[in-house]
Amino acid sequence: MTDERIVVGLDIGTTKICTVIGEVASDGVLDIIGEGTVPSDGLRKGVVVNLERTIASVRQSVAAAERVAGVEVRDAWVGVAGSHLRAFTSHGMAAIRRGQQISDADVERTIENARAVPLEANMDVIHVIPQEYVVDGQDGIKDPVGMSGVRLEVDVHIVAGAQGPIQNLARCAKDAGVEVDGMVVQALASGLAVLDDSERELTTVLIDIGGGTTDVGVFRRGTLSDSAVIPLGGDHITQDISQLLRIPPDEAERVKKKYGVAVPELADREVALEVSHPNYTASLSTFELAQVIRPRVMEILDLVKRAIEQRLGALELLAGSVVITGGASLMPGIEQVATERFRLPVRIGKPLNVSGLVDVVASPAHATAVGLVRHGMLQKRIVVPAASRSARPLRLPRDNVNMGGFIMNIRNFLKDFF
């Protein structure tokens, strides 16, 4: 894969591993040319627990995408999730020589000062995302380069993760024949895929309900301003069904996808579940199944609301809307439950502004993988991220502050390991 306009996203999740290959079409739209999704076998709550199984699944996913695209995948942007992630804000300041304009180097120095915060043992910084700059007391500045002043300040959102889980993800990609271009937290990646310009500019809460975890991102002023990880996801709904019906998890997952709804009123009291397992002796209706699903959905959404309000304040006063994405968002009724819990407009987020394999990737389940591709293209400055292409592109962390040393540490780890 030598074409610089081709970028690969690798979403190594708890329930599935998805590889998406994209390139920029002549009209600037993201063209999806390859996709491969296989069941994930080897992760729990977003963290690798079995290297060999995960590596095998990554190989299968990448190979499937390669066959569709007709290209060889050598490197990819990899999504990272899990309860080991930590997010916080920091502030940095740097002096500017009198009479000189603020340069890129001054901005990098200021961000680096904000980044220099003590971390827990064995934690690495993944993202340093500038929120706004202040020049000589004047706040609200988005790009200070070229301005005059003697004091430059910046507020940043920092996301850090435990070294072990991150290195294990990198090793799985490496052993599957894929170099890691960079790690991207799922909330940021999914936001790049499913939010439009206005949603990122106003305060929007993104909820990505995955298999093992739920990733939360608050977007405002055009960028990710806060994030959190909830240690519950769609797998917990599957576990509830498995325990209720006394059937294996794979059969419970099938039942969830075929019959599951988050609002009992949407189910039919007269329709009985068809379950193919000898342990299943009950006779439940889809209505009764929904009564089991709804409490878990409410618990996940309530934990999301609590996490945001503990950090930022009352959600209904803070946000303009809520966007739910991820595989679990496909469950009928979840939008209605979220509207009741958050008292805000809610929609289901699907990847925006894509062409090519639209029938495959235009699903909430592909939000992270498509967002990883879009992130990589933004870093290469070859595509803008939103549905409205006339608007200002999303502000992302600068590579040499945000990812450079981090990825070098991963590559050094892998080199030393082997």
pLDDT reading at 408 higher than 80 = no
User: What average pLDDT does the structure give for the chain?
Assistant: 88
Break the chain into its structural domains and give their ranges: 1-83+159-195+352-418, 86-158, 197-349
The yes-or-no answer to whether 1-83+159-195+352-418 and 197-349 have a common fold is yes
Cα dihedral 322→157→222→13 (10° resolution): -50
Pairing of strands 6-12, 75-80: parallel
Percentage above 90 pLDDT, the chain: 72
pLDDT in tens, 224-272: 999 999 999 999 999 999 998 888 898 899 999 999 999 999 988 878 8
pLDDT in tens, 195-234: 999 999 989 999 999 999 999 999 999 999 999 999 999 9
Percentage above 70 pLDDT, the chain: 89
Superfamily per CATH, domain 1-83+159-195+352-418: ATPase, nucleotide binding domain (3.30.420.40)
CATH architecture of structural domain 86-158: 2-Layer Sandwich (3.30)
Q: How far is CA 72 from CA 43, 126, 214, 231, 355, in A?
A: 26, 27, 32, 35, 21
Cα dihedral 335→340→345→351 (10° resolution): -20
pLDDT in tens, 57-109: 999 999 999 999 999 999 999 999 999 999 999 999 999 998 899 999 999 99
Superfamily per CATH, domain 197-349: ATPase, nucleotide binding domain (3.30.420.40)
Q: What is the mean pLDDT of residues 136-148?
A: 95
On whether the CB atoms of residues 19 and 34 are closer than 8 A, the answer is yes
The whole-model pTM stands at 0.88
